[in-house]
Amino acid sequence: MSLNTWCTCIKVTRRDGLIFGLTDTNKGFEFEGLAYNVSNGGMSASNIEHTSNLSVNNADAAGLITLLGINRSDLVAGLYDYAGVEFLLYDYVNALLVKILGVGTLGEVTISDNSFNSEFRSISQKLHQKIGAVYTAECGVDLGDSKCRVNLSSFTYAGSITSFVGSGRFSDSALNNADNFFDYGLITFTDGLNANLSREVKLYSSNEFQLLLPFPYAVSNGDSYSIYGGCDKAKSTCISKFNNVINFRGFDFIPGSDQVTKFGGQ
């Protein structure tokens, strides 16, 4: 075994289950049934910082979209956000795994021109995540989850796009819901280029949807979708729109921080 035959490999597991490997050598190879392709200098990782305690090991992973063949739209769609990552040291001549350098996930991927960057976080990151409820005046749970208990099927509608301005603004002339009914709701395409992808609605008015973030792929007339009415987390909305105040999870009667600054008698 020679140091001259060692190389660094990166194994990426996307959230949709797609797995691929990259290596910094000038010739690809297969290891444990996975092909590690040559990155052609298109992807690099900074030195992984290791500690002897439970603090988070980290590194930066960067790459050129065009050289790697990674689709920009997939990056925009968030398919690489929080993807599983393994950094390996491999002896490509003797076909031996030398060492696992790090195991963890990517953070949110940022895109600039034709390159991307993301921070690698080791699995000890999970030990640093805060768990518990936060006291807020607004409801702190998601519409339709096990705590909210709203039956989303009663507020879900299906349709197809009849006109569009772009991937973040389009309309369905067949809808007859009141303005703002779908504000903060979630729209999911069921076919077309954006099939199974979802985005939150920023504003619904006159049969037109404006999204907080556009879909990564082009929207076309006839694309089918499913959408449910949104909730702004206010108690009044919980009462008037969903008749669900018994499950309201806000703490609107708890005094806020402004009470601390008041003088006595106020």
Q: Within the chain, which residues score under 70 in pLDDT? A: 1-3, 39-70, 112-116, 118, 122-130, 264-266
Alpha carbon distance 76, 80 (integer Å): 9
| Short-list 247, 250, 206, 208, CA closest to 232 | 250
Strand (E) or helix (H) holding 186: strand 186-189
Residue entry with tokens 């768990």: 131
Q: What are residue 171's DSSP bridge partners?
A: 163, 208
- Domains annotated for the chain, with CATH where assigned, are 3-128 (no CATH), 152-247 (2.40.10)
Confidence at residue 163, expressed as pLDDT on a 0 to 100 scale: 94
Alpha carbon distance 112, 118 (integer Å): 11
Confidence at residue 210, expressed as pLDDT on a 0 to 100 scale: 96
Confidence at residue 56, expressed as pLDDT on a 0 to 100 scale: 45
| Short-list 189, 215, 186, CA closest to 202 | 186
Give Cα 247 to chain centroid, integer Å. Answer: 28
pTM for this entry: 0.64
Phi, psi of 220 (to 5 degrees): -125, 155
SS3 236: helix
| Short-list 220, 226, 178, 221, CA closest to 203 | 178
Amino acid at 167: S
Residue entry with tokens 């010739």: 27
Residue entry with tokens 């920009």: 72
DSSP 8-class letter at 74: H
Strand-strand pairing, 169-171 and 208-211: antiparallel
Confidence at residue 256, expressed as pLDDT on a 0 to 100 scale: 73
Mind listing the pLDDT tens digit for each residue in 5-58?
888 888 888 888 888 888 877 788 888 888 888 765 545 555 555 555 545 455
Give Cα 175 to chain centroid, integer Å. Answer: 29
Residues 6+ apart with CB under 8 A from 8: 23, 24, 45, 87, 88, 89, 90, 101
Strand (E) or helix (H) holding 204: strand 198-205
